Structure formats: C-alpha cells, structure tokens
Structure 1
C-alpha cells in the first residue's frame, strides 16, 4: 500500500476512472473511503469492514472535509477553490497516473500525449511490441484505467499510457519514454488558458530521468518547446525536413537509412506517418530495431472511426473519420484525399474557430466537390465557408442519413468522407455511435 494514501481517502469523480480507483483502494485494504460526485452514485458491493460515505449533488465537495487524501479523477479541474483550500489545510491530492507511476513494476513505461493522434500512436507502439514479442499493455485515457494495469502486472511488461492534459495536470513523475505529438489548443472550456494547457502537457517530460528518452515533432513549435523541458539525454526528433531522427518526405518515412512507404501499409492518411514515426522512435528507445518496427507497421490496421476505409461501393470509396471532433483533424484527413470527394461536416457546438478549416477546404482542396452539413454548427460552418469564397455545392441537412444520401451524388470514381470537425452530441450520444450509423449506411448500400 502506498504510504501517501492516508485514510480517509476521497474518490473525486465516480465515472469509469473513479470506479477503478475505488476498486484499487478496496484491493489495497483502505477501510475509510469518501466518494464524491455531482451525479448520483451507484456503489458496487462493499466488502465487510469498509466504511464508505457518499457525497453527491450540488454540494458533493463538502465530502472533502472528511478526507485526508483525495484521488482526483482526470475530468475534475484540480485548481478549484475547494481543492485549493483542501490542500492549504494539509490535505493531500493525488491521481490515478501519479499512483500508477509510483507503484508500477513494469520494466518500462511509455507515455504519449498531444492534441491529435494519441490513440493511434499508442496502439501502433503496442502493435510493434506485440509483433516483436514484447509483453505490453495499454492504459490511461485509452484502454483500461491506469490503476487496473497494476492488477496482474509482471516485471517483463512495457506499460503504454495515453495521457490527456487533464491527467497530466498535477503530475510530479514522468514515464521512462515520453512521446509528444502535435500540440495545438484544446479544452479551453476546461483549462484557463493555452499556457495552462501546454504547461500541463509538459509534465509528461518535466520529471524524466537522464536515462529516459523523449520523442517529439521538431517542426511543431509548441511540441518542440515542451520537449525542451525534458532532462532526458536521448531525444529523437520527427521532422518534415532533412534534419530529424525520423524524416517524412511525401508518403515516405526514413529512420536510420531504412524506409517505410505508406503504400505498403494498411492505414490511409498521410498524417499517419507522423504517428508511425513517433511510434517507431519510441520502440527504438525500448531496444526494437527500426526494420522490425517498420515490418510490424505494414500490418497495422487503423483504429475504428479514425480515417477508417470502409470499402468501395457503386464505384465510390467511403472513409469513416467520426473521431475527427476538431477542425485540425479534418484538415489532416482531407489532405490525403486523392479522388474527387464529398465531405460530411458538422456536429455539436464547442465554439471552435472554423476560419482556417474553411480557407483550406476552399483554397487547398481542389478535389472537394460537395459538402453536406449537419448538427448545431452547420449554419456557422456554412457562413465560414462562404466567407472563404466557397464555390462548390454545400447544403444543410437535419440528419446524417440525408447528408449521406446527398453525398452519394459525388458519383462513380469519387469518395465520401465523414470527418465532422465537431463533437457529436445533440444528434448522437458520442462519436462512436455517429461512426456506427455511418458504417451501417455504407453497409446498407
């Protein structure tokens, strides 16, 4: 049991992560637990001898006065006045990732952060390690909650964590191998500023040891700045010029003189080469040969709803990029379209700025032939596209089904891609449901 966890221990937030924390505390013999969540709490079966107090509703943070230690779930903002006061009065605050890094027996821990591509990169690292016979598990923001990884941990394992800014915000330990992907601005409805968001990301590298390794994108200024805070001796740069440890030129990736051609891989989307480069360099830091990593990547298949190729019907190719909930994801996805294409755009409102997306779609995507807009952002997106000088057909539709039917007008030899640049709420429960609906529409053709 970790000495920092002085009871009573509070579980702050009781979603998937909070429930995993509760399970961890019970497993480790904590007898006094306080569960705090704004929403109603459904407790699992509590073993005899364990006292659990539940605080829910508007005043759920009143439970802090009964805690000595609090394990914060990632989605709970750590700088709130109530949590600040709790710590000023001697309370201890920790998190899942902090506890995992303090206690893991894994031989190495790889942490991946960035605004885009985290899930793909994490799964690529796992795919390479598995193909090379290295025992590994994925956790954190993707896969299972980090503390669940401690259950059947073995000393020969590599643990791979996808880490969001929320999870990194209060961290005071860093993983052995840190991967910093492209960092733009995100979650400004949660973070106070862009600086705070990027500062949180920097905790991934800030506490690394000298013998650690840091992989980063050299051409992305915020990413390079974050990487510069790493004390690790080994630093691997991914570059679009000739001066990186991994160099991307067109659809070719070169590392240590070995080349990987995108056409030999199952994934689509030229932007995936950045993720492949980062994954390969992370594995290189773990002792994997570059040629073996490249061979493994040829058989890697895209995660669901991330530029997922759904086949060709009636002479039309279909791509499902429902995971693209931000404008820059859609910019990246549409860059790899080869044929004339129809784009399905729009979703729920996160007050994102569509100016850059609109300008790129209008000026830099000559093969974009029609746009179907859905969701709460449809009107605002249409106005933004018109301001950028839109020349192609663009219409607003009440449902995805109608937008899909309109997109089929692209005709034989064309492509239909759903890459919404927005979250899905309002029309759908989440991006997965939106993706499933699109898949069914393709399947039903």
Structure 2
C-alpha cells in the first residue's frame, strides 16, 4: 500500500477513471473512502469492513472536509478555491498518473503528450515494441486507466502512457522517456489560458531524471520550449528539412521520407496515409531507440502499422472516388494536417459542435494553399460561423450547409470519378452525434452502402 494515501481517501470524480481509483483503493486495503461527483453515483459492490461516504449534486465538494488525501480524476479542474483550501488546511492531493509513476515496477515508462497525434504515437510505439518482442501495455488517456496497469505488472514490461493536459496539470513526477508532439492550443473551455495549458504539458518533462530521454519536435516553438525544461541528458529532436531548423535534428522529415541514423522510411511503403503521420512515426521510433530498439527494426515494424480508427482512415474507392474518414479531427489544426495529404481533387465535410475554436487559419489555408479543394459541405452548430470565416478568406468553390451528415455526404459525391471525399470536421461531434466514434461509424456506413 502506498504510504502517502492516508485515510479517509477521497475519490474526486467517479467516471471510468474514478471507478478504477475506487477499485484500486479497495484492493489496497483502504477502509474509509469518500466518493465525490456532481452526477449521481452508482457504487459497485463494497466489501465488508469498507466505509464509503457518497457526496453528489451541486455541493459534492463538501466531501473534502471528510478527507485527508484526495485522488483527483483528470477531468476535475485542480485549481478550484475548494481544492486550494483543502490543501492549505493540510490535505494532500494526488492523481492516478502520480500514483502509477510512484509505484510502477515497469522497467521503463514512456509518456506521450501533445495537442495532436498522441493516440497514434502511443499505438505506434506499442506496435514497434510488440514486433520486436518487447512486453508492453498502453494506458492513461488511451487504453485502460493507469492504475489498472499495476494489476498484472511484470518487471520486464514497458508501460506506455498517453497523457492529456488534464492528467499532467499537477503532476510532480515525470516518466523515463517523455515524448512531446506538436503543441498548439486546446481545451480553453477548461484551462484558464494558453499559458496554463502549455505549462501543464511541461510537467511531462519537468521532473525527469538526468538519465531520462526527451523526444520533441524542434520546429514547433511551443514544443521546443516545453522540451527545454527537461533535465534529461539525452534529447532527440525531430526536424523538418524545409522547416526553420533546416533538417538539423536526430530525425529528419524530408517530404514523404523519414531519415534517422542513416536509415530511411518511405511513406509509400507504409499502410498509413497522411504526411503528418511522419512526425508521429519519428517520435515513436526515437522513443523506441531510447528503449534500445534498432532504428532499422522500428522502421520495418512501422511498415505494417495500420492507422487507428477514424484518424485519416482510408475506406477504399467506390465509383472511382476515394474515401477518407478523419472523424477524430476535432480541431482546426488536425484538419489542416489531414488536407495537406490530399493528392486528388477533393470534397471536404466540415463542422460539428461549438468549442469556440478560431477558424481563421484553417479558412485561409483551405482557400489559399489547397488548390485541389473543389467543394465543401458543412454540418453542425459551427457550420454558419465556418462558412462566414471561409467567405472572408475569399472562398471560390461551392460551400453549402446541410442539416445531416447523410445530406452532406450525398453532396460531396459530386466530386466525381478521380476525386476524394474526406470527412475531417475540425470540430467535436456533440449535438448531431454522441461522440467522434459514432460520427465515424455513420460515415463508414454511408461509404459501405454506396
């Protein structure tokens, strides 16, 4: 049992992560637990001898007065006055990720953060390690909650964690290998500022040991700034041949080619589409290099890697039209990256729920830098605002608003033989769909039914 967890222990937030924390506490002999959640709480079966107090509804944080330690779930904002007061009065706050990093027996832990590409990079690292015969598990923001990884942990394992800014925000310990992907702005409906968001990300590297490794993107200024905070002696930089660093990095991306240590990987030899995936492949290879994997072996493994569902997923060709499902693109910069890979004339399906994102840069790039963009179909709450932004940027191609994805899809088929239809919405899906997965499944069915 972790000595830092002095009972009564509060579980703050009782979603998937909170339920995993509760299970961990019960299995580690904690007898007094306080569960706090704004939503109604449905407790699992509680063993005899374990006292559980539930605080839900508007005043759920009243439960803090009964706690000595609190395990915060990632979605709960840690800088609230109530939590500040709790800590000023001697209360201790920790998190799943902190508990995992303090107790893991894994021989190495890899942590991955960034605004884009976290899930893909984590799964690429796992794919390379598996192909090279290295025992590994994925957890954190992707896969299973981190504390679930402790259950059947072995000392030969590598644990790979996808970590969001929510999980990193108060973290006082960093993983052995830290990967910082492209960082822009995100979650400003939760974070107080861009600075706070990026500062949270920096906890991934801030507490690394000198013996650690930091992998980062040299040409993305916010990412390079975060990496500069790492005390790790080994730093692997990813550089773009035509970027500000002019290819001065440990991994160099030149067009559709990735070069590391004299080895080359050509995107055309891989199953994934999307030139932006080379950044993720570079990061995954360098992380595996830090774990002792040969670059040649990593590159060979990446050739057989298949993209995650709804991330620039190629759905085949019908009626002479190619289809790409990029439902996971819930931010403008994801759509910018996806459309950069389009070779044929293409129709783009855009729009979704409102997160107050700025569409100016996306609109300017679509209008000025995507000459093969031939038509746009807009859906969701953001459709009108996006159309206005595109019009201001000087859009010349047809762009119409549709009440449903089905109608937007039907309109996009006008691209005709030799063209491409891509759904890369640049927005979340709520309103029309429960989540990006459901939106992606609907698109898949529309393609299948053609």
Same-fold status (TM-score > 0.5)? yes
Q: Does 1:375 align with 2:373?
A: no
Q: TM-score, normalised by structure 2?
A: 0.99
Q: Which runs of 4+ in 1 moved over 6 A?
A: none
2:363 to 347, 358, 361: 358
Aligned length: 445
Say which SS state the counterpart of residue 214 (structure 1) adopts: strand
Distance 2:144 2:175 in 1: 17
Give the Cα separation in 1 of the matches to 2:437 and 2:177. Answer: 30
1:260-317 CA distance string (max 9 Å, x none): 0000000000000000000000000000000000000000000000000000011000
- Using the TM superposition, give the Cα deviation of residue 384 of structure 1 relative to its aligned residue in structure 2, in angstroms: 0.4
SS in 1 for 2:54: strand
**In structure 1, the residue corresponding to 2:109 is in which secondary structure?**
strand
Deviation at 1:347, TM superposition (A): 0.2
| Unaligned 5+ runs, structure 2 | 243-247
Are 1:406 and 2:406 matched, yes or no? Answer: no
Per-residue CA distance 1:310-352 (angstroms, 9 max, x = gap) = 0001100000000000000000000000000000000000010
Cα distance in 2, alignment partners of residues 210 and 384 from structure 1 = 47
Residue matched to 1:275: 280
- Per the alignment, in what secondary structure is the counterpart of residue 435 of structure 1? helix
Deviations 1:85-109 (A, max 9, x none): 0000000000000000000000000
Query: What SS does the corresponding residue of 2:178 show, helix, strand or coil?
Result: strand
Secondary structure of the structure 2 residue equivalent to 1:427: coil
Report the RMSD for the aligned CA atoms in angstroms: 0.5
- Give the equivalent residue in structure 2 for 1:225: 225
Q: 1:344 is matched with which residue: 349, 353, 363?
A: 349
Aligned residue in 1 for 2:245: none
| TM-score of the aligned structures, taking structure 1 as reference length | 1.00
Shift, 1:423, TM fit: 0.2
**What is the SS of the residue equivalent to 1:208?**
coil
Distance 1:352 1:79 in 2: 23
Residues 382-426 of structure 1, C-alpha deviations (whole Å, 9 max, x = no match): 010000000000000000000000000000000000000000000
SS at 1:219 equivalent:
coil
Moved more, 16-25 or 186-195: 186-195
Deviation at 1:241, TM superposition (A): 2.7
Q: Distance in 2 between matches of 1:205 and 1:351?
A: 29
Separation of aligned partners in 2, 1:202 and 1:381: 32
Deviation at 1:362, TM superposition (A): 0.4
